[in-house]
Structure formats: C-alpha cells, structure tokens
Copies of this chain bind each other. A is one copy, B any other.
C-alpha cells in the first residue's frame, strides 16, 4: 500500500482534484502555484511540496498545466477505471448513497442493491431493483463487484462484511458505526457520521 507518499499528502489529493476539475470546467488551461494557493487557501509552498511528490508537473514561469495535473491526480487516485459498487442495507442512508453515487461524476457504478427485508424485494431505487442479501452469492458469480457499501445497522455490518470478503469483495465503504476487522488485503474506508458530529460539537465548545 505504501507508495512512498505520506498519508497526509494523499488525503489532500481529492481536494486538488476538485479544484482542478472546476478550473477545467471554467476553461482555465494553466495556473501558477500562487493562484492555486489563493483559491485553495493553502500556502504556495505547500502546494509545490505536495505536487512535487508526483514528479515535475510544474514548470518555472509557466505554472501547472491544469488538464495534465487533473488527469495525473485522477490516475494516482485510481479514477481512470470504473469501479463497480454494490450496496448493502437499503434504508434511508443506503438510498441516499445509491443516488449520490449515481449522480456524482466519478467512475463508480452502482450495480446492485441488497437488503434482508423481504418487503423491499424488487422495489426500484435509483433505477435498480432491490435484491435479497442471500441472492448476492449468485449475483457475484456473474458480476464483478469492486466495492461494497455498508449502510447496515452496526450489528449486521461485521457478519455481512465477513461473508462478502469470503466471496472475494476486497474494498468496503463502511457507514456502519463499527470498526470492521478484516484481513490485511481488504481495504476499508469509514464514514462515521456520529464521529463527525462529535468533532463539530467539540469545536463549538471552544467558541
């Protein structure tokens, strides 16, 4: 996993990607680190340091080629290929995430929605009929699932994740409020909403 680039730098990459995408949309072809610095409210030296990690994208007196840098960061972030996504737990949050993934302009494709509630079977959400979780094993034989989204209750998340990992799913976007214990070759990205709320609450007390 370690490609010699610090985690902190990697964490900042999506934000560069977003700003560069907006520049592209506005027809901007090149930008200096100073201009980017003003837009992003990050020092120009931080920008130069961050982007130097990926080789010489900037040229003295010219600045950065926006398209090149955007594509390069997209490549580094693994955004040059489509990732098939299946979602487990089609409650309110699951439905919202299914729609979210559908409408973002990122290369993630929702290909299956799974739940345990028989009443939901066949209901269409974001253009996809809901299937039962016990149908996933068969589904998985004919579909390549790159990422599983877990929008399940806490207690259901670990057993479902374990089953999916056994069936060969190696990446999880986990919204369940639990730390998944998974084999080393499995990648987990957590979105713990309550922790984010607590962070906000903490920051409010200091005012």
Binding site for B on A (CB under 8 A): 1-3, 10-11, 13-15, 17-18, 40-41, 76-79, 83, 91-93, 95-97, 99-101, 104, 106, 108, 146-147, 170-171, 173, 177, 179, 185, 187, 189, 191-207
| A3 close to B198 (CB less than 8 A) | no
- Minimum C-beta distance from A130 to chain B (A): 15
Q: How far is the CB of A43 from chain B (nearest CB, A)?
A: 16
A93: chain B residues within 8 A (beta carbon): 96, 99-100
Give Cα A203–Cα B40 distance, bound, in whole angstroms: 24
Can you give 7 contacting A-B residue pairs, CB < 8 Å? A10-B202, A15-B195, A17-B198, A40-B179, A41-B179, A92-B95, A173-B200
Interface centre among A11, A179, A196, A198 (most CB of B within 10 A): A198
Q: In the complex, what distance in Å separates the CA atom of A205 from the CA atom of B206? A: 40
Task: Please list the 3 inter-chain residue pairs (A to B) with the smallest Cβ-Cβ separation, ordered nearest first.
Answer: A189-B200, A96-B96, A14-B195
Chain B residues with Cβ under 8 A from A179's Cβ? 15, 40-41
Alpha-carbon separation in the docked complex, A207 to B192 (Å)? 24
Q: Are A3 and B173 in contact (CB under 8 A)?
A: no
Q: Are the CB atoms of B194 and A193 closer together than 8 Å?
A: no
Residues of B within 8 A of A11 (CB): 199
B83 touches A92 (CB 8 A): no
* Residue ID in chain B nearest A17 by CB atoms: B198
Contact of A77 with B14 at beta-carbon distance under 8 Å, contacts A92-B96, A206-B3, A207-B187 already known: no
Residue from B77, B177, B187 in contact with A18 in the complex, judged by beta carbons closer than 8 Å: B177
CB of A203 within 8 A of CB of B191, answer no
Most buried by B among A76, A96, A185, A191: A96
Q: Which of B14, B193, B204 makes the CB contact (< 8 A) with A146?
A: B204
